[in-house]
């Protein structure tokens, strides 16, 4: 009798162990293969942003860029493949929407909020991808940035990044009001007259270095007086020489007149 009871207990324990093992295996497989709630939330948030961006596009952009952002002749280019960085730059700086065709789109207050700009960027990104501004800190080596800026940027934007005139009524804009993301996006996308610099031409670290240098010029003061556009010691020395010689000539003539 006791042997029979012990056998039944062992059988029950064995079945329970098998059932527990099966449940644990199924739970592990579900955890491994099933999408996490965080991923689902991210996908849903992206879908909502794209839909919102599409609605905003159809309200304010479709007349120039066409249905599906494929462009309209003599009105606006295709946005397929331009990427979210281009959208963020153009819309956050108020250059788009463009009220009329001009030689150059000028900076003005944006017509969209930050969340609306992000939605527009998400929609355009969904049409064909394109350059994106990386997340995180966008500032790098200031010294390297200064060398790169003087070699490749100062000829148009000026040594102090105050902008400069180009041909045909166009101009390189001042960078005084530009944010880190705007400067990075401009290098990445090449808006208007500016060349586009891919990561194979100017690496991400070099772009961050240029951003850091431009922003450092806004913070740094000129303790020695007027910086004369920070064009360097040669023109500054020339100005000092001419002013000094001019002062001496005026003083000499005044003394001679008195005598």
Specify which residues 164 forms β-bridges with: 172
**First CA to last CA distance, the chain:** 143
pLDDT at residue 23 in the model: 74
* 33 pLDDT more than 70: no
For residue 141, the tally of other CB atoms under 10 A from its CB is: 16
Specify which residues 81 forms β-bridges with: none
Length of the chain: 259
**Could you give the CA distance from residue 73 to residue 257 in angstroms, rounded to a whole number?**
73
**Model-level pTM?**
0.74
The mean pLDDT of 170-193, rounded to a whole number, is: 94
Cβ burial, residue 117 (10 Å; 0-12/13-18/19+): buried
Contact 187, 197 (CB under 8 A): yes
**Could you give the CA distance from residue 55 to residue 61 in angstroms, rounded to a whole number?**
10
**Per-residue H/E/C for the chain:** CHHHHHHHHHHHHHHHHHHHHHHHHHHHHHHHHCCCHHHHHHHHHHHHHHHHHHHHHHHHCHHHHCHHHCCECCCECCCCCCCHHHHHHHHHCCCCCCCCCCCCCCCCCCCCCHHHHHHHHHHHHHHHCCCCCCCCCCCCCHHHHHHHHHHHCHHHHCCCCCCEECCCCCEECCCCCCCHHHHHHHHHHCCCCCCCCCCCCCCHHHHHHHHHHHHHHHHCCCCCCCCHHHCCHHHHHHHHHHHHHHHHHHHHHHHHHHC
b/e per residue, 58-83, with b = 16+ CB within 10 A?
A: eebbeebbbeebeeeeeebeebeebb
Per-residue pLDDT tens digits for 88-115? 999 999 999 988 877 788 999 999 999 9
pLDDT at residue 258 in the model: 75
Contact 76, 67 (CB under 8 A): no
* 14 pLDDT more than 90: no
Per-residue pLDDT tens digits for 135-149? 999 999 999 999 999
pLDDT at residue 11 in the model: 72
Contact 86, 185 (CB under 8 A): yes
Helix orientation angle between 180-189 and 204-219, rounded to the nearest 10 degrees: 140
* 241 pLDDT more than 90: no
């Amino acid at each position: 009798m006791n042997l029979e009871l012990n056998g039944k207990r062992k059988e029950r324990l064995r079945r329970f162990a098998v059932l527990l093992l099966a449940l644990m295996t199924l739970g592990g497989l579900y955890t491994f293969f099933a999408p996490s709630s965080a991923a689902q939330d991210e996908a849903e948030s992206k879908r909502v942003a794209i839909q919102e961006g599409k609605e905003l596009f159809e309200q304010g952009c479709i007349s120039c860029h066409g249905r599906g952002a494929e462009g309209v002749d003599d009105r606006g280019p295709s946005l397929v493949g331009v990427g979210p960085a281009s959208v963020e730059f153009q819309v956050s700086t108020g250059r788009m929407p463009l009220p009329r065709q001009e030689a150059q789109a000028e900076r003005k207050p944006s017509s969209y909020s930050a969340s609306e700009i992000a939605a527009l960027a998400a929609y355009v990104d969904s049409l064909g991808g394109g350059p994106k501004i990386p997340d995180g800190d966008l500032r790098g080596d200031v010294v390297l940035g200064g060398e790169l800026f003087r070699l490749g940027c100062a000829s148009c934007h000026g040594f102090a990044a105050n902008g400069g005139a180009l041909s045909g009524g166009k101009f390189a804009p001042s960078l005084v009001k530009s944010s880190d993301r705007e400067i990075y996006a401009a290098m990445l996308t090449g808006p208007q007259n500016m060349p586009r610099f891919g990561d194979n031409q100017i690496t991400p670290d070099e772009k961050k270095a240029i951003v850091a240098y431009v922003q450092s010029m806004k913070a740094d003061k000129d303790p020695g007086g007027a910086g004369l556009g920070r064009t360097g010691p040669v023109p500054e020395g020339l100005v000092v020489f001419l002013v000094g010689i001019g002062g001496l000539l005026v003083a000499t003539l005044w003394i001679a007149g008195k005598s």
